Amino acid sequence: MVHYLDNAATTPVRPSALETMVPLLSEVYGNPSGAHRMARAANRVLDDARETMAEVLGAKAGEIVFTAGGTEADNLAVTGVLEANGGIALCTTVEHHAVLDPVAHSKGETVEVARDGRLDLAALEDALTRHGDDVSLVSVMAVNNETGMIQPLDEAIEMTRRLAPGAVFHTDAVQALCWLDLSTVAGEADMVSVSAHKFGGPKGVGCLVVREGERSSGPEPLLRGGGQERGRRGGTHNVAGIAAMATAAAETHAQRADQVPRVTALRDRLADGVLTAVPDAIETGDRALKTANIAHFCFPGVASEALLILLEQSDIMASAASSCSSGAMDPSHVLAAMGYSRDLAFGSLRLSLGYGSTDADVDATLAALGPAVTRLRERS
């Protein structure tokens, strides 16, 4: 039996999302940009999905821009705003590379985090004060994809509004929708990115909230062509994927109140068991400031890639860092930003639970992890 503890990388598709998607692939296959009745049927599916995503995200339907996933949504937010408004972008040092890379490409600036991985508000204040009206975008993720740390969005948004009132505030909320009510947590952000496969939808589909208002100029489209999404994102819509995303988002939102305490209890039992099995393991961050699903550790004297191989031999599927960085020779930039040494960062392990996780997954992981660490240390 496989025990899947890599839900932060991707989640299994929810049965309800699959049931939504399959008939749309075979029956409602018209191009929603067309004029005939088959096209209109597809367009109605899009309209319904847009309404659902708006309700879940605390937005208006017209503020939803469908994309091919979180990376495109992040790039559209960062690059699109800079192309529309000029100026510079600020982001934290622990952002996903989908934000970090376009900020770096535009010669923007990164803002430090504290040892626990949360934004250093004094550092943000300094950057905003130094750059003032030149700041056109500030991007702070809602939840870190490696450690699960929840960022202080309210404080960051208030500070941005005060010191750079013309700047757009964007949050990468890709890791957040399962565990936080984004209509509340990110309700004051100007732009919000989400990705379907992180909450039980299919891969390759996501959306960006672009709120109307005084900071609504832009973003300039990255993909130009058919003028879809009110000219903000060209390209024929993935109707089935978008509809499945909306189904998964609605189900996630409806189940969140029950799932969060259940998964939190599983995560806490898992984390406590890891610290018992490997007493010198270092748990990163503060559990009280994390989402329910992620337990993240560094193991001194252990290479995480070797540990993952041994865990897989016991049918435990986990990861060392962001799955987008798998195979990289450099350690996690997130842990480096938090001040962890290179050696400790090479021994990191992310165990991430999801809506389908069970006590059996926790039991199997705890049974395998201690012996695996001991075996690797004996080899070295």
Domain CATH code at residue 264: 3.90.1150.10
- Number of neighbours of residue 136 by Cβ within 10 angstroms: 25
Q: Which domain holds residue 92?
A: 15-250
| pLDDT of res. 326 | 47
Active site (annotated) includes residue 324: yes
Name the token pair of 271. Answer: 């984390």
Asked if 37 and 90 sit in the same domain, the reply is yes
- Number of neighbours of residue 250 by Cβ within 10 angstroms: 17
Asked if 287 and 151 sit in the same domain, the reply is no
Name the token pair of 221. Answer: 């489209």
Q: 90: helix, coil or strand?
A: strand
pLDDT tens digit sequence for 310-353: 999 999 999 997 544 444 557 899 999 999 999 999 999 999 99
Asked if 359 and 314 sit in the same domain, the reply is yes
| pLDDT of res. 217 | 65
- Please check whether residue 113 is in contact with residue 335, taking contact to mean a CB–CB distance below 8 angstroms: no
| pLDDT of res. 214 | 64
Asked if 125 and 242 sit in the same domain, the reply is yes
| pLDDT of res. 330 | 74
Name the token pair of 71. Answer: 């990376």
| pLDDT of res. 322 | 52
Q: Which of 91, 207, 298, 324 is catalytic?
A: 324
- Please check whether residue 8 is in contact with residue 348, taking contact to mean a CB–CB distance below 8 angstroms: no
Low-confidence residues in the chain, pLDDT < 70: 214-217, 322-329
Nearest C-alpha neighbor of 305 from the set 279, 333, 281, 329? 329
| pLDDT of res. 184 | 96
Q: Residue 325 and residue 225: Cα distance in Å, rounded?
A: 31
| pLDDT of res. 226 | 85
Q: Residue 182 and residue 176: Cα distance in Å, rounded?
A: 7
